[in-house]
Structure 1
């Protein structure tokens, strides 16, 4: 089912009325028990749009909401530290470390990004002495990070397992068997602080359009700013923050692993309120470094190689990004301003199975 042409709500951004897109809501508790109807809804959502709300307002999900609030407190302490202390930590690896404001291309032409970010990987937090900045390298903060990463891993693995069931996969073919917990991966928790910015005059603006270097992304943000361009949509539109819900999206690796039947939805972040400090928490569940898939250029490559190549494209200047394969930043998804995006390939009904 294509997105509805009806726009039920809009908000003003950059002197223009911008749509607010409706998204399906998936109940986490129902996914845990792999209720057939909810599993089928999940699969269809990932095949049609690639984004959905994950409802955590239940006994099974509330602990993740508590983890989010504790992580926000930690983020404030870190981002309010002097810049020298944050830069001392630096960027250790593409999935671990600190990136200051302006490290990447911005959302508008001739701008740089408008956020700073600290990343802590799942592999790193399990080490006996994880590499962390001094300002949060203490037992209470490390426990907060452990809980946030472990909880996010549990939630995204439950979604991945339900998708395997819904797609009729078994044995080694199930998606989670390329996401084993004991194998090295670049799965990471990214904590982002978007600085106040006015799109009419500032030069550090938002987060450029892209698809995610992940299989699934679990995103928490209580503030406006996320925009998506669903398959078939003519323009970017906002995602409304919803209390008690995370936003989940399909990333490149799951799109590739599904035979390109799932949609890695194009998205970006813009400042809706110029004076606002915006905070978001994203867990990127990624396949094992050695997992193999066929990308949108037809190359048979590892998840680790895709991660490193796309990260390099993200952090390169626009002239270098233009030299990358057309599918790199958008994961093979297409757009054409003023025209409808190429229609999503429809799967036959019997390709979606509850059991």
Structure 2
């Protein structure tokens, strides 16, 4: 149980590290005997042009690991990695504030802050901070939605979010075309209420994220530090996801799998602070989490018809539930443990 001096709120982020010519971070010298995942790298500029071979490559990644890198070179989103670096600097200023000052930004809503997102002054190694900036709320009222430090950064957040909107729209268009489906974007209209968020996350201690699949459709993630692991479909074993400075990690979430009649794989992943990740300091990550419009309907992993809003609420509940309760439902892992044949 958290103490009275514990505050709850949300956020995702990143810090700079030495980079190689290729834009990957310097490899850790820690040999933890865990392999680095061989994820595909997709060229976003070619996706914008609907290049057939690149779209096929995108589909192959989405029906296997459900995880891949996205390279923005020479695309209309080329500045996204640069904006990420600037956003990180603002985030660090935000998280460096006293807890009392950050606590006023709590929205009092589960999907904008929850029991699993907390800072305990007495147990700093078992806490993290999570600030969720709602996509729809940002569009409606930026001044009410953004903490003052982010307002002082001008249109940084708005530009970052609008770029991410374009990125996910292009991927949804490409997947719709190659799968012969009706437009997947119809379930993800950015001007309709949804739980799509820009998530800014700060891990000052050792707390990690348990195994899970993402609740939404697509995640655009930047993190410059080791810690993220994914289940390899071929072996059923955990593998490291190499952090890259100039490329985002993209993963398929539960609802996109459901909207495609389970043709795509929702990626089973986790964040840990062991092995090579134990050498990292304060960990930050920035994630744009695309989720369907609240009223979008689909059939979930248990065969029940539900709406996106109800599904998100159920998943957030299970995130913070006792482990015994987590094991009674497919919600936490999206049914992917059964698909992969593992109990990770």
Q: Which residue of 2 is the match for residue 100 of structure 1?
A: 118
User: Counterpart of 1:121?
Assistant: 134
Instruction: Report how far residue 166 of structure 1 moved.
Output: 1.2
- Residue 328, structure 1, aligned to residue 331, structure 2: yes
Alpha-carbon distance between aligned partners in 2 of 1:101 and 1:256, rounded to the nearest angstrom: 34
Corresponding position of 1:69: 85
- Give 1:243 shift: 3.1
1:231 match: 233
Aligned to 1:312: 317
**Cα deviation per residue 1:168-220 (whole Å; 9 max; x = unaligned)?**
22xxx2211111222211110001111243xxxxxxx2111100011000001
CA distance in 1, matches of 2:260, 2:126: 31
Quick check: 1:230–1:265 contact (8 Å CA) kept in 2?
A: no
Q: State whether structure 2 residue 284 is matched by structure 1 residue 266.
A: no
Tell me the distance in 1 between the aligned counterparts of 2:131 and 2:223. Answer: 16
**Quick check: 1:178 aligned with 2:180?**
no
Which whole-Å CA distance do the structure 2 matches of 1:165 and 1:134 have between them? Answer: 39
Q: Partner of 2:133: helix, strand, or coil? A: strand
Tell me how far apart the structure 2 counterparts of residues 291 and 113 of structure 1 sit (CA, whole Å). 36
Contact 2:45 2:73 survives alignment (8 Å) = no
Q: Is the 8 A contact 1:214 1:284 kept in 2?
A: yes
The answer as to whether partners of 1:160 and 1:176 remain within 8 angstroms in 2 is yes
How far, CA to CA, are the matches of 2:322 and 2:87 in structure 1? 31
Counterpart residue number, 1:187: 196
- Provide structure 1 residue ranges, at least 5 long, that are not aligned to the other structure: 1-9, 103-111, 198-204, 343-355
- Residue 277 of structure 1 deviates from its aligned partner by 0.9
Whole-Å separation in 1 of the counterparts to 2:111 and 2:278: 29
For 1:3, the equivalent position in structure 2 comes to none
Which residue does the alignment assign to 2:341?
A: 341
Q: Secondary structure at the match of 2:130?
A: strand
Give RMSD over aligned pairs. 2.4
Pairs within 5 Å for 1:1-355: 16-97=32-113, 99-101=117-119, 114-128=127-141, 130-132=143-145, 134-136=147-149, 138=151, 140-141=152-153, 143-169=155-181, 173-197=182-206, 205-271=207-273, 272-274=277-279, 276-323=281-328, 325=329, 327-334=330-337, 341=341
1:289 and 1:304 in contact (8 A); partners too: yes
Q: Give the 3 Å change call, closer, same or farther, for CA 87–59 of structure 1 in structure 2.
A: same
Mind listing any 5+ residue stretches in structure 2 that lack a counterpart? Answer: 1-26
Cα distance, 1:134 vs. partner? 4.5
Larger relative contact order, structure 1 or 2 (CA cutoff 8 Å, min sep 6): 2
Bigger Cα displacement from structure 2, 248-257 vs 314-323: 314-323
Is the contact between residue 78 and residue 135 of structure 1 (CA under 8 Å) also seen in structure 2?
no
State the shift of 1:12 in Å: 7.9
TM-aligned CA distance change 1:59 to 1:29, over 3 Å: closer
TM-score (norm 1): 0.80
- Taking the aligned partners of 2:126 and 2:322, their CA distance within structure 1 comes to 11
CA–CA distance in structure 2, aligned partners of residues 94 and 233 of structure 1: 35
Secondary structure, counterpart of 2:332 in structure 1: coil
The alignment covers a number of residue pairs equal to: 308
Q: Over residues 249-289 of structure 1, what are the superposed CA-to-partner deviations in whole Å (9 max), with x where a residue is unaligned?
A: 00000011111111011101112034501111000111111
**For residues 48 and 113 of structure 1, what CA distance do their matches in structure 2 show?**
34
Query: Can you list the C-alpha shifts for 1:134-192, whole angstroms capped at 9, x where unaligned?
Result: 54253x335211111111111111111111111122xxx22111112222111100011
SS of residue paired to 1:189 = strand
CA distance in 2, matches of 1:237, 1:304: 32
* SS of corresponding position for 1:141: coil
Q: Is the 8 A contact 1:113 1:208 kept in 2?
A: no
